[in-house]
């Protein structure tokens, strides 16, 4: 192997290592890997729920959960329950921190490369002429500052518990109405 081939091979190996590290860091669950969202920066929050719904049963012999006739392994069921609880609760946390009701802001779950992210959605609605017809009563930067950076959620069913940490992303979107405002085209 001559010097040039050695340097190219060495540079490729270093590039692969560096690229591998960059990919590993870019897909960690402590960042939101999308241009459409920013990571919330508020204090993290922890919450828990004990499931007492009689239609949900823990099957100890198989470590499964029967939920309204559908059976899943406990861990799969619990991961889904944690994510749903976080999405259902994140706006309550934001409202408590702002000390006022919020309008024009939604919440949900989004699947990204590394897993689920709880979303806080800052949405501006425009009519077909482009005029703003609905907007949140809180600025995007303020929403990002008060939304929890992460939510640690624990669900318990029949004495069996599961805890999951979910990152929170804040997104801004502008949507346009498809209505023609009564004007025939």
Residue 1 has pLDDT above 80, yes or no: no
68/70 Cα distance (integer angstroms)? 6
> For 139-184, how does the pLDDT look when each residue is reduced to its tens digit (9 = 90+)?
999 999 999 999 999 999 999 999 999 999 999 988 887 765 555 4
Could you read off the pLDDT of 52-81 as tens digits, one per residue? 999 999 999 999 999 988 999 999 999 999
- pTM beyond 0.85, yes or no: no
- Between 128 and 98, the higher pLDDT residue: 98
Distance, in Å, from the CA atom of 185 to the CA atom of 182, rounded to the nearest integer, reads: 9
pLDDT in tens, 82-94: 999 999 999 999 9
H helix count then E strand count, the chain: 3, 10
Q: What is the mean pLDDT of the chain?
A: 82
Question: Is residue 5 pLDDT above 50, yes or no?
Answer: no
In terms of pLDDT, which residue wins out, 49 or 128? 49
Distance CA(26)–CA(22), nearest Å, equals 6
């Amino acid at each position: 192997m001559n010097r040039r081939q050695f340097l190219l091979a060495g540079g490729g190996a270093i590039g692969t290592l560096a690229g591998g590290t960059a990919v590993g860091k870019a897909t960690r669950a402590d960042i939101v890997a999308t241009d459409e969202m920013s990571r919330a920066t508020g204090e993290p929050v922890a919450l828990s729920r004990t499931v007492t719904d009689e239609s949900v049963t823990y099957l100890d012999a198989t470590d499964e959960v029967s939920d309204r006739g559908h059976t899943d392994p406990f861990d799969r069921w619990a991961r889904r329950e944690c994510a749903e609880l976080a999405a259902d609760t994140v706006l309550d946390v934001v409202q408590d921190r702002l000390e006022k009701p919020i309008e024009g802001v939604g919440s949900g779950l989004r699947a990204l490369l590394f897993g689920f992210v709880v979303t806080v959605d800052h949405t501006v609605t425009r009519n077909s002429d482009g005029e703003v017809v609905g907007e949140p009563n809180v600025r995007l930067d303020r929403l990002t500052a008060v939304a929890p950076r992460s939510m640690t959620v624990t669900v318990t069913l029949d004495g069996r518990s599961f805890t999951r940490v979910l990152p929170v992303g804040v997104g801004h979107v502008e949507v346009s109405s498809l209505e023609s405002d009564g004007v025939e085209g």
